[in-house]
Structure 1
Amino acid sequence: MRAVSTPGPLNALPQTLLRHSQVVKTTGNFGFRDLNKNDKLDVYEDVRQPVEKRVQDLLHQMTLEEKAGLLFINGARINDDGSIEDKPGTGLFAFAPNAARLLTEKKMNHFNLWAIPDEPHTLAVWYNKMQKLAEDSRLGIPITIASDPRNHFSNNIFAMKASGFSQWCEPLGLGAIGDPELTRQFADIVRQEYLAVGIREALHPQVDLATEPRWARISGTFGEDAQLTAKQATAYIEGFQGGNSLTREGVAAMTKHFAGGGPQREGLDPHFPFQKGQIYPGHNFKYHLIPFEAAFAAHTAAIMPYYGVPMGQTKEDVGFSYNKAMITDLLRHHYHYDGVVCTDWGLVTDANLGPVVWPARAWGVESLSIPERVQKIIDAGVDQFGGENIPEVIVQLVKEGKVSEKRIDSSAVRLLRQKFQLGLFDNPYIDEDKANTTVGRADFVAAGEASQRRAITLLKNDRHVLPLKKNLKIYVRNMDPKVAAQYGTVVDDPADADLAILRLQTPFYPVASDIPLAKMFHHGDLDFKGAQKDSILQLLHQVPTIVDIYIDRPAVIPEISKAAKGLLADFGASDAAVLDVIFGKFKPGGHLPVELPASMEAVRAQKEDVPYDSKNPLYKFGFGLSY
């Protein structure tokens, strides 16, 4: 045998494999990767064989330890120089483990990325080095890299730093635009950017329904309407996966959070112990399933259940991933879903954050030991553990006879199938030189910026004050004066201004907690209070003012709305995007994907599981003006 470059006919071999792989061989005129280094073409190494045959051939060659490694995915730390050695981390995600060690020591080959280098090329270099390390393993099983959203102009902690990627409005803005074809374009562009750096699984879309306005994760949804969300979900998944099924040029979509994470009691998120469970006072559980039914029809590659406890919906009040009635009975049997089911992150082990412990999100089963938690999740029907790296517990459970190896095989099959569908076994390598020219490509960036403008929703236009004329004397607050100076003469004193432009963000009031991340979540009331509110109203009464408010949750702003001359809502937008709309370069095109309640009393009186049900809302769902 002699070395060639990739599986398939010798005259059609991509150069990336020739450049990076050391195990490519030929038999006859056919090139393949000799992943198990036995100098022969195994079924799992043969691109011509059906996927299911390849999966079974590989499964039969795997040890229990290798199967267990498949069942875990955790965050990985990326060195700034693209190396894979275990170096000390820095920044918010310094705690993330080293991927190379998890691969070699734990047999893990799924990783998600949080912080990444500013240079996409550096990430591509790291990715190829990791694939080479995986190639050198006993069976050469390639790694799969996943990511939370990183293509939004966002203040949401779940939207990772863009680091050169195109920046679009948030998903809530896509809901405001309401155009599935734009969402499909967004997904297709992000797919190309992900592929350029080796990201092959999207830990999104988030198709929860924002029926509880105080919930901290609304900006990642498409809004509170099930039908709108279902249409957006279909376009999103198909754009990422390359069509109505997962393709070799696709990115696997992990749709979340089954069976709908929106109806949290008082909006308190179940990342934290202060959560109070998911409740359904409107008996509206089935309504929250509608977007997931669309995701199943679009053949989403994976599903992530949420942390929450669906109170009173099954025989036991435990979190979704621990709940066999939800995962096996509803998801597997009722919906016949046979894709990957992966828990949300950190359901099993506590996180030690220096002097503070962030408890595992083992809601309802806190008294169980770590092995008992793992066993209950497996018994519920879940395939993969997010944010954990304890495959040795699976091995222990099988050896003790508490979990059968056949049960582990069923999950391993789903996870291997996805890798084969993505083409990772045949050529996992990428062209490092194309990373910087694809990520943040000029037309991709322009499309993202256009979405920021298109999502902006005009709520009030008193006496048709908008769009503004240029050359006005303007006073700006919470906006870059240098950007504003391109539209008018910026003055330092509102008394000298013809008009003021004020940017606001929906208020939040952190829940008291020792867990640092908990304080970053936008919980609590939705209205401005005290001195902050007084300062805003003072400006509005002093000078005619245009107010733009960033909506990551439905703001309660009746006094502000009444006093403002013009009122706009944005869903992740730059100063330039907002000013372009205010001055008429772009027309506002959004319609509210959530209602804006008239008072906090109305918020507290509404039902957590029912959409657009607050009494006499200030602005109804779907409202939006234009010029």
Structure 2
Amino acid sequence: MFRDLNGNGVMDPYEDPRLSAAERTEDLLGRLSLPEKIGLLFQTVIEMGPEGQLLEESGVFAKSSTRAAVLGKGLSAFNIHAIPSARAAARWNNRIQALAEQTPHGIPVTLSTDPRHSFTENSGVAFTSGPFSQWPDMLGIAALGDVELVRRFSEVVRAEYRAVGLRMALHPQVDLATESRWGRQLQTFGNDVERVRAFTRAYVEGFQGTSLGPDSVATTTKHFPGGGPQLDGEDPHFPYGREQVYPGDNFEAHLAPFKDAIGSGTAAIMPYYGMPVGLVRNGEPIEEVGFAYNRQILTGLLREELGFDGVIVSDWELVTDNRVGDKLLPARAWGVEELTPVQRIVKLLDAGVDQFGGEECVEVLAEAVASGAVTEARIDESARRILLTKFQLGLFDDPYVDEEAAERIVGNAEFRSLGIETQSRSVVVLANDGVLPLGGGESPLRVYLEGIDSAVVAAEAEVVGSPGIAEVALVRIPAPYEPRDDLLLEQGFRQGSLEFRPGLITRLKRIAEECPLVLIVDLDRPAVLTPFLPFTSAIVACFGVSDTALMAALSGVVFPEGRLPVDIPRSMAEVREALPDLPGLSAEALFPSGFGLHRYGS
């Protein structure tokens, strides 16, 4: 029995599961029309209805209806945003795969996703867990320093993704977090290159197995060749953050984790938006254009030197501007802003990009081919890699999933319990004068709370409304940042100074004058904690921890074992003076990477 994908009543070689993925790819590639091949080279955002319906109109971020994208434009790679439930996601996968069967050769859809197993909610970065098991953000997992835990996390996520039809992960993010102000380090493994390398190997192998196959989820390792050393920590999603710099001559360290990803067989690699400035490698100045536009980086380094022959997926929206409502974000065509969309797509292909992320402008690529600026042979080169991955994943043989199984697997009790326990363990105790662990007395502890759900605490302690009558105050605050909201997505990126506002420091000091203060800081980036040391009884760092998991760590139900995966600076002067491509600060850190009080410092 075979799937007659082109409806001709004959088992053509590409439909024959007995042949190798490479043989099937070559057969199918020779059958495709130019528009079909062009459609393969795009991966864009798609959205689903609340019950798994295919949307018949464009969405908030989706530029076309599902039918128009699949049948009209021939697209077969989509990045999904909101997932309301496991059943809805499984149902939606089956519906979009059935729609794809209506295309001339029945090419199945590859569904991808940004990270969605932790606490970050930012459509440009990651999504909160929703129906999936919830774990710390990657810095929290890095805080535990456990390679086997990374592997186990990856296996859990693979099972949950597979259950709903997600077959490509737009992660891991293996950038070194060497610039303290950079707003994307929460999804990294920290600033220690050897830890990041070991975690990268375990992550890729946990998702893909020993080789890419029907049980795998393909990984897209990012952001090549390392997105951490941003000038002043500004993110290159935005024009003011486009420059990536290497004053410490540490390019090779940032590159190192990608060598491990390639060695572990990562299916895809994504270059970042950043534009290298003043970078010289092997005596050759590197062109100052975004990495995806850079032939020296993608073809010379990634393809030829490192031997990577998987799919190169560009980061989102390098060709056209993105507008949602009254917000605009210009195409991240850094260094080539003056080029037209056709010229940009030509330069991206010449650099070595296979698939254009966040785009569905098939007409632009068709125009480039019609003008002779891009050959059909060049289209074939990328289409071949993309089809090969689909065949390796088994999508041509069975892209469907079981709705009932999806509900049983996604967010099951074992996975959720392991995620919550990991959250508690990942908590880092930075200072403690003996106030932790909480409780242990004969009567319930009187606790004053800010930033923590009182319902979580009330089961174990007496929650009071004033620090003046409390035995301890628990105050949970976010790391500081400078709010910005001029450009699309900008509000979701926490950037700028790491200093807390003077008013907050003064108010917390007043609380500490009335009762012992335990300060809990959610460190999506490092923060200048120096002002709090003289008056707090304990300082605790979190990298994605629920209130329930936090209270388990503070009370000793689960011992906090985390150690910092990044440095905590004494001052902003220290941050400004540090070299952005080197781990560590310009002077001795307030709390260095690797620091953490074992079992509360006892």
TM-score computed with the length of structure 2 as normaliser? 0.96
Using the TM superposition, give the Cα deviation of residue 345 of structure 1 relative to its aligned residue in structure 2, in angstroms: 0.4
Query: Which amino acid in 1 is paired with 2:12?
Result: D
- 2:172 is aligned with 1:205: yes
* SS of match in other structure, 1:514: coil
Query: Which amino acid in 2 is paired with 1:404?
Result: T
5+ residue gaps, structure 1, are 1-30
* 1: CA distance, partners of 2:134 / 2:593: 26
Using the TM superposition, give the Cα deviation of residue 552 of structure 1 relative to its aligned residue in structure 2, in angstroms: 0.7
Q: Quick check: 256-265 or 148-157, which moved more?
A: 148-157
- 2:497 is aligned with 1:525: yes
- 2:235 is aligned with 1:262: no
- 2:433 is aligned with 1:452: no
Matching residue of 1:553: 525
State percent identity of aligned pairs: 44
1:393-408 to structure 2, matched below 5 A, reads 393-408=364-379
- 2:564 is aligned with 1:592: yes
* 1: CA distance, partners of 2:201 / 2:460: 39
Matching residue of 1:140: 106
Matching residue of 2:116: 150
- 2:590 is aligned with 1:608: no
* 1: CA distance, partners of 2:142 / 2:436: 27
Using the TM superposition, give the Cα deviation of residue 267 of structure 1 relative to its aligned residue in structure 2, in angstroms: 0.7
Matching residue of 1:10: none
Tell me, yes or no, if the aligned pair for 1:303 and 1:342 is still in contact at 8 Å: yes
Query: Which amino acid in 1 is paired with 2:225?
Result: A
* 2: CA distance, partners of 1:55 / 1:47: 12
Tell me, yes or no, if the aligned pair for 2:273 and 2:334 is still in contact at 8 Å: yes
Residue of 56, 76, 82 corresponding to 1:86: 56
Q: Quick check: 431-440 or 392-401, which moved more?
A: 392-401
* 1: CA distance, partners of 2:100 / 2:62: 23
Query: Which amino acid in 2 is paired with 1:266?
Result: D
Tell me, yes or no, if the aligned pair for 2:289 and 2:335 is still in contact at 8 Å: yes
Tell me, yes or no, if the aligned pair for 1:156 and 1:219 is still in contact at 8 Å: no
Tell me, yes or no, if the aligned pair for 1:84 and 1:130 is still in contact at 8 Å: yes
Deviation per CA, 1:184-243, whole angstroms, max 9, x where unpaired? 1111111111111110000000001110010010101010111111111111111111x2
Query: Which amino acid in 2 is paired with 1:434?
Result: A
Tell me, yes or no, if the aligned pair for 1:510 and 1:519 is still in contact at 8 Å: yes
1:262-301 to structure 2, matched below 5 A, reads 262-301=228-267
Deviation per CA, 1:448-484, whole angstroms, max 9, x where unpaired? 1111011111111214643542521111111111111
Tell me, yes or no, if the aligned pair for 1:593 and 1:622 is still in contact at 8 Å: yes
Query: Which amino acid in 1 is paired with 2:237?
Result: H
* 1: CA distance, partners of 2:545 / 2:518: 16
* SS of match in other structure, 1:586: coil
Matching residue of 1:69: 39
Matching residue of 2:183: 216
* 2: CA distance, partners of 1:102 / 1:343: 19
* SS of match in other structure, 2:275: coil
Residue of 38, 51, 60 corresponding to 2:30: 60
Query: Which amino acid in 1 is paired with 2:201?
Result: T
Matching residue of 2:276: 310
* 2: CA distance, partners of 1:421 / 1:88: 31
Residue of 45, 59, 62 corresponding to 2:15: 45
Tell me, yes or no, if the aligned pair for 2:569 and 2:585 is still in contact at 8 Å: no
Using the TM superposition, give the Cα deviation of residue 276 of structure 1 relative to its aligned residue in structure 2, in angstroms: 4.6
- 2:462 is aligned with 1:496: no
Residue of 156, 159, 182 corresponding to 2:149: 182
Using the TM superposition, give the Cα deviation of residue 96 of structure 1 relative to its aligned residue in structure 2, in angstroms: 4.8
Tell me, yes or no, if the aligned pair for 1:351 and 1:358 is still in contact at 8 Å: yes
* SS of match in other structure, 1:430: coil
5+ residue gaps, structure 2, are 280-284
Using the TM superposition, give the Cα deviation of residue 148 of structure 1 relative to its aligned residue in structure 2, in angstroms: 0.5
- 2:483 is aligned with 1:510: yes
* 1: CA distance, partners of 2:247 / 2:52: 51
Matching residue of 2:134: 167
Matching residue of 1:620: 592
Query: Which amino acid in 1 is paired with 2:323?
Result: N
* 1: CA distance, partners of 2:55 / 2:324: 23
Matching residue of 1:442: 413
* SS of match in other structure, 2:241: coil
Tell me: CA distance 1:144–1:88, structure 2 relative to 1, closer, same or farther (3 Å): closer
* 2: CA distance, partners of 1:568 / 1:352: 40
Using the TM superposition, give the Cα deviation of residue 616 of structure 1 relative to its aligned residue in structure 2, in angstroms: 1.6
TM-score computed with the length of structure 1 as normaliser? 0.92
Tell me: CA distance 1:85–1:559, structure 2 relative to 1, closer, same or farther (3 Å): closer
Query: Which amino acid in 2 is paired with 1:353?
Result: V
Using the TM superposition, give the Cα deviation of residue 244 of structure 1 relative to its aligned residue in structure 2, in angstroms: 2.6
Deviation per CA, 1:538-589, whole angstroms, max 9, x where unpaired? 2123311111111110111112133211111111011111111111111111
* SS of match in other structure, 1:415: helix
Using the TM superposition, give the Cα deviation of residue 245 of structure 1 relative to its aligned residue in structure 2, in angstroms: 1.8
Matching residue of 2:326: 355
* SS of match in other structure, 2:520: strand
1:106-125 to structure 2, matched below 5 A, reads 106-116=73-83, 118-125=84-91
Tell me, yes or no, if the aligned pair for 2:276 and 2:286 is still in contact at 8 Å: no
* 2: CA distance, partners of 1:34 / 1:474: 66
Tell me: CA distance 1:615–1:125, structure 2 relative to 1, closer, same or farther (3 Å): same
* 1: CA distance, partners of 2:114 / 2:82: 11
Matching residue of 1:367: 338
1:378-397 to structure 2, matched below 5 A, reads 378-397=349-368
Let me know the Cα RMSD of the aligned residues. 1.4
Matching residue of 1:235: 202
* 2: CA distance, partners of 1:352 / 1:88: 13
Residue of 365, 375, 393 corresponding to 1:422: 393
Tell me, yes or no, if the aligned pair for 1:211 and 1:610 is still in contact at 8 Å: yes
